Amino acid sequence: MHTSTALLIELGVVLAALSVLAGLARRVGLSPVPLYLLAGLCLGPGGIAPVPAAGGFVQTGAALGVVLLLLALGLEFTAAEFADSARRHLPSAGVDLALNAAPGLVLGWVAGAGLTATLALAGITWISSSGIAARLLGDLDRLGNRETPAVLSVLVLEDVAVAVYLPLLAVLAAGGSWWHAAAAAATAAGALILAFTASYRFGGGLARVVHSTDPEQLLLRVFGLTLLVAGLAELVNASAAVGAFLFGLALTGQVADRTRRVIAPLRDLFATVFFFGIGLSVDPSDIVPVLPVALAVAAVGTATKMATGWFAAARDGAGTWARLRAGSALIARGEFSLVIASLPASVTHPRLGPFTAAFVIVAAIAGPVIARLVDVVEARARVR
Amino acid sequence: MDVAEVLLPGVGVRYEFVTEAGDRLRIVARRDGSVDVLGGGGDPDAAATLFTLTAQEADTVAELLGAPRIAERLADLTREIPGLEAGQVTVGDRSPYAGRTLGDTRARTRTGASIVAIVRGRDVVAAPAPNQPLYAGDVLVVIGTSDGVAAVADLVRG
């Protein structure tokens, strides 16, 4: 077998550099995601040190990264948690959608971006990063707080809503008509309900097929089946990400726990490649013109998320500071916004990629910083 | 006592109650089995982590608080009848009955003592049937004479 030395060396250097960046980010309490994006920008075409040989791998790896991210998300889900969240926080999720899709919709309309790109922008500003938020809640010791169930519920409901939203967008991006897209979304909603009931009622069935005490076997079965489902979903234009999410959803109980553990290192690697790959695919010179807009939208998006958190936490009877904390935990946008932007740019909008990269970098840095700031300001206020 | 249970989607379950002394105690049982024990400060909306237990440590605490209390309560009960004692016996790793059923021990016939409950992790099997399997680490709650309880211990301890 011929192995390209350039590929190995470039990839090695890239991953080593990313690990250093991630270490730095963690040390100062930030998410490494924006740094992965920045690294991609620096090393892509037009960047300071292009890595052409690694490009092919990164492209493939990024696609796997999306699938694995969504599979892991689906595995996290339980029907009981979803039902509980929906029962208590459906209005919060509605407010979340209305407030946070608005900046994207307005931007798309003002920029005359066309229907598909406008819808994509709405999603990009709407969906918080579950990954960054969950990490933040743990890091800032907020799990015992009153507002935390509200925050987590909003995130869960967002994630489920994405499973309906993504196929809608994917079909439109693939050039499908409105009724075609609506049908895809309806199909996804149906599949979602099916996956839920299947996991709830006969969760054992799929678990038995996948189950193996050998970690290697388990990994191969789950990963193989996930790729198969994701590929079939993509084939019918329902987005590979949604297929992977539904597959993760259908796995529950002990098998889900074990699968989570087996899949985690793979997910971490390929998700990193995905974030890096998004940066790589964007020409840094395209970032500059969209930067002011991205900053403005991030500012508005921060305000709307704060309002969402305020509303959701208030429903649980939380006080002023808890409401502010809830909002600040939701600010960061990340993986979902990037998944949306990774849909074919040709049919959406050429500026969508650069805008999203810039927006996510700003929002993913601002989120943790503002969340910490709220804690600091609160501590000061209480001392007085 | 009113223990409130709150689901934390993606994280686990949070239990909370106010102690008689007026302290608010919160326990977050995470999906991976680890447990955070949190105490409230002045802010009713916030609670800081006091300490975090690994899954194994949490099991140990549960065992410390769980099994002896059951045996204690039984001891209170048996005090009413002279000569009757309650004890607890752990099924050892090398016990000949680990992996076999309760009936296989023929404890009642051989020692005269009864096994009235099996404490397994956080679960308690009350009045176990003879076909109930035994596993290493199970704690058997035994009632009988002091000799009988000791004999059961010799039998299953391994």
CATH H-level, domain B58-157: superfamily: Regulator of K+ conductance, C-terminal domain (3.30.70.1450)
Rounded mean pLDDT, A194-218: 74
- Best of B5, B8, B35, B50 to mutate (most A CBs within 10 Å, chain A): B8
- Which residues of B, range 5-24, sit inside 8 Å of A by Cβ? 6-11, 14
To the nearest whole number, what is the mean pLDDT of chain A?
87
Question: Which of A148-152, A173-177, B56-60 is the least confident region?
Answer: A173-177
What proportion of chain A, given as a percentage, has pLDDT over 70? 96
Q: How confident is the model at residue A81 (pLDDT cuts 50, 70, 90)?
A: confident
**Distance in Å, alpha carbon of A172 to nearest chain B alpha carbon:** 31
Question: Which of A199-213, A279-293, A314-328, B19-33 is the least confident region?
Answer: A199-213
Strand order in the sheet with B47-53: B4-8, B12-18, B24-30, B35-40, B47-53
Query: Is-contact A363 A298, C-beta < 8 A?
Result: yes
Q: Which amino acid type is present at position A311?
A: F
| Residue of B35, B38, B25, B28 whose CA lies nearest to B6 | B28
Whole-number pLDDT of residue A102: 95
Residues 6 or more apart in contact with residue A131 via CB below 8 angstroms? A31, A33, A334, A335
Task: Tell me if the pTM is above 0.90.
Answer: no
Q: Which residues of A touch B44 (CB under 8 A)?
A: 146, 319
pLDDT at A314 over 90: yes
Structure tokens at B16: 């909370």
Give ipTM to 2 decimals: 0.77
Residues 6 or more apart in contact with residue B10 via CB below 8 angstroms? A76, A77, A81, A130, A134, A152, A155, A156, B31
Give every residue of chain B whose pLDDT is below 50, as ranges: none
B4-8 and B139-144: which strand pairing? unpaired
Domains and CATH numbers, chain A: 5-379 (1.20.1530.20)
Domain ranges for chain B: 4-53, 58-157
Whole-number pLDDT of residue A344: 66
pLDDT at A171 over 90: no
**Please, what is the angle between helix A320-330 and helix A130-139, to 10°?**
140
| CA–CA gap between residue A255 and residue B76 (Å, rounded) | 43
Rounded mean pLDDT, A92-107: 95
H or E segment to which residue B140 belongs: strand B139-144
The predicted-structure confidence for A244-302, as pLDDT tens digits, reads as follows 988 888 887 778 888 888 999 999 999 999 999 988 888 888 889 999 999 999 999 99
Name the β-bridge partners of A330.
Answer: none
Structure tokens at B94: 């090398």
**Distance in Å, alpha carbon of B17 to nearest chain A alpha carbon:** 12
Question: Which of A11-20, A207-216, B84-93, B95-104 is the least confident region?
Answer: A207-216
DSSP letters along A328-343, please?
HHH----HHHHHHHTS
